[in-house]
Structures are given as structure tokens and as C-alpha cells.
Structure 1
Amino acid sequence: MIDLEKIRAIDIHTHAEEPCGCHADDGYDELQTTMAKYFRAPWQHPPTIPETAAHFRAQNIAAVIFPVDAERETGYRRYSNDEVIAQVRANDDVLIPFASIDPWKGKMGVREARRLIEDHGIRGFKFHPTMQGFFANDRMAYPLYEVLQEHGCVALFHTGQTGVGSGMPGGNGMRLKYSNPMYMDDVAVDFPDLKIILAHPSFPWQEEALAVAQHKPNVYIDLSGWSPKYFPEILVRYCNSILRKKVLFGSDWPMITPERWLADFDDIAIRDEIRPDILKMNAARLLGLV
């Protein structure tokens, strides 16, 4: 269990990657290697879940961790939610598991979501419209959202362009249009009790993301995927004012380490009294830890 008194921050956005060498390469290794170069990540092989836990434990930081299920669109086999849960369970002093289900899986995905929530207590699900190839407001995904809303879960949506597929031919087939945060506005209207996180500074739609988070009480923003030193001025302004209770620390590990993110966060103009909420308490409230 997470001890809020002992940890200094909660990272709402980290990725679980299959242990290197334990799978036949289906193309995912090339994507990972290209992303690592783009982000200048400090590792040669993606870290395992136990290695991730050890890193965050040493940093005294808790983390939400999830796989990404995008099999239909990418051809990359998913990292099983059940495998992730089993490994996180052994490291639950620092890790909190979210699941990922490609909404294109229809009724099969709905059944899996219900099982993961009811049998394993999963608190949230990661969606990646760019990798999964869907608009968030596509009605085919609504039965899945209904299960999440029914159980009080979090729906975390990738937004904007963070470097995934950058520099690869055709952007590795990934279409940026799917991750415009305005599509999540429809989801927030149609599912007003669903807790929604718009992940990342939403380049090139930053103002759209801020508008949605300001307008819809159930929408939050995480700050992962970018070094804070590159945050647009308007994002910093909103963090310091009307969205101070709705923005969340996230690193996007393993591409960005939490210590690198936090060091850069120290140097930007966030008011001192707001920092504890962004780094820990906003996430703790959203996740029901307080």
C-alpha cells in the first residue's frame, strides 16, 4: 500500500514495457529505440516492472503504471494486463496499476474491463487514440466508458504529439488527428461522472486542452511527456490559477525519468503553495488515496 506520508510525489503517467529479450520482436523494439533516441532516455533496454519499482522506490516516488493495448492498429502484441497486475502486486508500496484495453475489442474488451475492476480493483485505464487509431468520441468505445464510469474509474487519454513515432517513416503510421483533446470534450459531456485525464501538454492543441479542463469538472491534465522547461507560458499560468487543483505530475517513464522532470519543474515559475498539490495531492485525491 502507498504511504502518502512517506512519498514525496505521485507520478500519474509511467509505462510498463515487456522485459527485453522475453518476446520475439514484432516491430515494437524499433519504435522503442527510436523513441529513446528522441527523448535521450538514459537506458539501453526498456526497464522491467521490478526495475521500474526499484527506481521509483529509490526516488521516494509512487507511480501509476500501465501497458498500452494497440494490437489492432499497430500489430504490436500487448503486454497482458494480468501480467502487469501480478508484477505490480509485488511492488505495491510504490506502484499503482492501471490497465489498457483497445476499445476496438468491443464486447470482449468490456468483459475484460469489468473483470479487471471487480476481481483486481483496477482504478484506471489508459487510452492512446493515436496508437489505437480511434477518435475518443467514437460511439464504439462508449460501452467501455460506461463500465469505467459505473465503477468510478479514471480514463487517461493520450493527447497531442509527444514524440511517439517521430522521425519514423509515415510517423510509424500514427495519425495525430485522433489525439486532439476536443474529442475528449464529448466524452466528458456524455459521461459526466467519468474521471478523465488529458495526458501531456497537448501540442499543438494546448489551449483546447485547457478549455476542456476548465469547462468540465470531471477533466484533469497531466504534465507528462515534456520537460517542464518547455511548457508553454499559458499552461504555467493555468497551473498557477484556475487549474491548480486539476493538474498532475507525470513523467512518461521510461522516456523521461521522474528526477529529470522534477529538477526541471523546480526551475519554472510555479507558486510554492501550489507545488504540493501538483506533485502529490491532486493525484491522491483523484485516485481516492485520501
Structure 2
Amino acid sequence: MRLGLGCAQLGNLYRAMTDETAAAIVDAAWAAGIRYFDTAPHYGLGLSELRLGAALRDRPRDEYVLSTKVGRLLAENPAFVGQRDNSGFEVPATLVRRNDYSRDGVLRSLESSMARLGVDRIDIAFVHDAEDYVEETLAGAIPALIELRDQGVLRGVGLGMNFDRILAEFVRRSDVDTIMVAGRYTLLEQPALDELLPLCEERGVRVMAAGVFNSGILATPAPGTTYDYREAPAELVERARRIADVCARFGVELPAAAIALPATHPVVEAVVLGASSVRQVESNAARAAVEVPPQLWEALRAEGLLR
């Protein structure tokens, strides 16, 4: 299985970390064989990109794949008087995000990202959270990225979001190479099987599976209580508990099965996992190495717990 490191936590997602911890997380990922790193300007108002770039600076550029995102430009915050960011990142709000899915916005975003990362090229550029900007993205962002791909500046053009049906619309209407689908193809729920993944298979679009723990409920051997960043409904917690019980019969912990399931689909190229500590990186890598017997999936299907 190919693992990627999702770098939202490097932008102080929910809680602050030191620069040293951020560097150690990237070092641990590299030591575990991870060679795909995903970030975004949104993550910590550019802090994730700065930290990831610093941590990768001495690594051979041809030995890893780097993706970032476009759609949110960062601008100076003229009203800054000491307030903190209001989008879940523990950073000062010295910058503000401006949604911009135009051609000019995409080019400016990529230029700024490469400066923060300290690189001369990005491998994959994802249009980030464009669910409310479908037509603007189809008219501006995607054609601009495709032009850069055709010029050899990018290796891949993609989209990333939580909405499988809107991703399917983009795949159907544009020439993208890759998508990142978060939380919609997991051990708990698989709506991406309805349309998105078959369409990707038909059109040769590769998939990065993110959010495979559904933001926490599948992240521990005993199911958690957080689903899609909110308190999980009781029926989902019970469903996760039943899944965990079936996994236990096969000697597999719930998080290991959650990591393994997306990789069973032929279009999934990588499973992207975040980490807030070196220990989490090592734990994720160890769980990804667990061999899950096919009989586990069969048992889950037999009990109506898996598509």
C-alpha cells in the first residue's frame, strides 16, 4: 500500500506544535518509507507549507511527490489586532483567505505556494473545496492547471473535497488526472462507490483516499465518538462498534482495517493520513503494514456492514 502524509497538522490544526515537532513528523514519515506529501495554503495560513518545505529541503527532489492546493489565496489581514485564525488552526490571523478559482487566482496561488515550500515545481495541484464554485472552477482553475500540466510545469491536475457527487461531476466534465476524496470511501461508509469510483475507473483518474478514519470514529481500536468533525450520532457509533467486533474476530484492529479498505479498490493510488506526532506516524505506518485477510471483507458484507 502506498501511504501519503497529510500535512494539515503541520499548520497547527486544533492545537499548536513546535517547528521541531513538525520536522520530526516529516522525518519519521520519510524513515517509514512515505514519499508522498500533501499540503495546502489553507492549513495554518501557509504555515504547513512553510514547515513542510523546510523539512524536505535537503531531500532529493526527484525522490518524493508533492501536492498542494489552489482556490484560496492568502492576503494580508488589514484588521489584524492579535486575533487567532477562525478555521480550526492555532495561528495568528495575520493573513486572510480569499476564495479565488479564477485563472489568475490559481497562478498566483501556485507561485506563492512554491515560494513558501521553497521548490521550483509542484507535482500535483488540487483545486481545494470547490463544491460551491463548480462553474468558476471549470472555466478558470482547471483550464489554467491543465495548461501548466501540458507545459510540463505540473505532473497532475486534481480536485479535493468531501463531496463525492460533486467530484463525479468534475471528473465527468473535465480532464483531471487525480482526485482526493475525503471521508466518502471508508470502512464506515462508501458512497463513492455509487458513481465516483466507477467513473474514475472508466476515465483513468487516480484517487487519493483521505479522511479514512472519518475524523476520529475509526482511529482507535474501540470506536471514537467524532464523525466528520462533530459528535457522532449514536447509530454510527454502534455501527462502528459492530465493525470493530467483526475485525477483532480476524485479529485486526479497527484502524488497520480502515486504512486497508480503500487500497483494495483498483483506482486508489494512495491512502493519505495525517499525524500530530512521531508516534502517530509510526503507528499509522505499522497499521498500514497489517495484512487484512479477504475473509474479513466478506464477513462485513455478510453482516450488512460493508458495500
What range describes the TM-score normalised by the shorter chain of this pair?
A: 0.5 to 0.7
2:95 is the counterpart of 1:98: no
Question: Alignment partner for residue 190 of structure 1, among 138, 153, 173?
Answer: 173
> Of the two, which has the highest radius of gyration?
2
2:247 is the counterpart of 1:250: no
CA contact (8 A) 1:15 1:252 kept: yes
Aligned equivalent of 2:164:
181
Identity of aligned residues (%): 11
Instruction: Say which structure is richer in strand.
Output: 2
What secondary structure is seen at the aligned counterpart in 1 of 2:47? Answer: coil
Question: Alignment partner for residue 136 of structure 2, among 123, 140, 145?
Answer: 140
TM-score (norm 1): 0.55
CA contact (8 A) 2:183 2:212 kept: yes
1:146 maps to a residue whose letter is P
Question: Alignment partner for residue 88 of structure 1, among 52, 56, 63?
Answer: 56
Q: Distance in 1 between matches of 2:128 and 2:134?
A: 13
2:97 is the counterpart of 1:110: no
Q: Distance in 1 between matches of 2:281 and 2:211?
A: 10
Aligned equivalent of 1:212:
196
CA contact (8 A) 1:229 1:268 kept: no
Q: Distance in 2 between matches of 1:125 and 1:264?
A: 28
Q: Distance in 2 between matches of 1:69 and 1:88?
A: 19
Give 1:15 shift: 0.3
What secondary structure is seen at the aligned counterpart in 1 of 2:37? Answer: strand
C-alpha root-mean-square deviation of aligned residues, in Å? 4.0
Q: Distance in 1 between matches of 2:135 and 2:46?
A: 23
Q: What does 1:5-154 correspond to in 2, within 5 Å?
A: 10-15=2-7, 32-33=14-15, 49-69=22-42, 77-79=45-47, 81=49, 84-85=52-53, 87-92=55-60, 95-103=64-72, 104-105=99-100, 106-113=102-109, 115=111, 120-129=120-129, 134-135=130-131, 138-142=134-138, 143-150=140-147, 151=149, 152-154=155-157
Q: 1:64 to 1:155 in 2, by over 3 A?
A: same
Q: Distance in 1 between matches of 2:132 and 2:285?
A: 30
Q: Distance in 1 between matches of 2:27 and 2:280?
A: 13
Q: 1:137 to 1:232 in 2, by over 3 A?
A: farther
Give 1:253 shift: 2.6
Give 1:221 shift: 4.0
Q: Distance in 1 between matches of 2:188 and 2:169?
A: 16
Aligned equivalent of 1:269:
293
Give 1:252 shift: 1.9
What secondary structure is seen at the aligned counterpart in 2 of 1:121? Answer: coil
Q: Distance in 1 between matches of 2:292 and 2:184?
A: 15
Aligned equivalent of 1:275:
none
Unaligned runs of 5+ in 2: 73-98, 150-154, 214-218, 220-252, 296-307
Per-residue deviation, residues 220-265 of structure 1 (Å, max 9, x unmatched): 14155424825889x93x754xx32434232223378343224334
CA contact (8 A) 1:137 1:186 kept: no
CA contact (8 A) 1:223 1:249 kept: yes
Unaligned runs of 5+ in 1: 1-8, 20-28, 37-43, 71-75, 160-179, 272-290
Q: Distance in 1 between matches of 2:256 and 2:26?
A: 27
TM-score (norm 2): 0.53
Q: Distance in 2 between matches of 1:225 and 1:127?
A: 20
